[in-house]
Amino acid sequence: MQQASSSLPSFAQALGHDMADKRIDILRQIGQGGSISQAARAVGVSYKAAWQAIDTLTNLAGVPLVHRAVGGTGGGGAVLTDAGHALLRAADAMAQARAEVLQRLAGQGAQPAAAARLGVRTSMRNQWPCVVRALEAVGPLVHVHLGGTGAAQALALTARITQESAQLLGLAPGLPVLALCKATAVQVGKGQEAGGALAPNTWTGRVTRVARGEAGDEVAATLDAGVQMVGFAPPGSGLRARARVCLRADAAAIVLAL
């Protein structure tokens, strides 16, 4: 039996990504087969990852999307709520509209991929188009090794995410992704000249501007790899424009988006 909710759904949040999103695929498979475990197998993710997808979409939509009947075969049956069905209809409509817009842009000589990335709105000021170079399983986590694209091919960075997240994103070598990192997660210090081996997620560059503050100096820099990055140095760092700097970020601070 489907459950009604007095809350209005917020599908704009749940549909804020490419409709190739596996979370939407999982929801669609549940609607077709009535089983979360079957949906996970059909999409090629673990049962845990399927539940993570349902939980995330439910949080974004603000209303229940799936009603689970505990005790059935194969982990229990599941049906979509009215809001779940409505979300899928909205996903289909948005996928069609998105395809039409990107096709039109391609016909005008624009780069659809770049235009699509502009639709990602976030508070993270550090954003770089990248490509997955390799995936390294480390226990329940995955180290995703990334490289820059275009003129920034020298950029190298590593993200640390869960295996479930890697499955839901469908990560594989060669896949284009968008890497993001909060400026507050980037540590800036006096740097070295270009060249020489650097630790993972450590980059060198030159300062372009400094905004001094009691809590820390906000530093914008142009990396030797050819991209811009913003981070924070300790208060009273003494850094000035054109100074050599070294920037660091933990792999867990790197977020991936498609």
Domain boundaries, the chain: 11-104, 123-258
Structure confidence at residue 5 (pLDDT): 40
CATH number for the domain running over 11-104: 1.10.10.10
Structure confidence at residue 2 (pLDDT): 41
Using an 8 Å Cβ cutoff, are 91 and 12 in contact? no
Structure confidence at residue 59 (pLDDT): 80
Distance CA 75, CA 112 (A): 41
Structure confidence at residue 119 (pLDDT): 54
CATH number for the domain running over 123-258: 2.40.50.140
Task: Kindly give, in sequence order, each residue whose CB lies less than 8 Å from that of residue 246, ignoring residues fewer than 6 positions away.
Answer: 188, 189, 190, 191, 192, 202, 203, 204
Residues of the chain with pLDDT under 70: 1-20, 70-76, 102, 105, 109-121, 192-197
Whole-prediction pTM value? 0.77
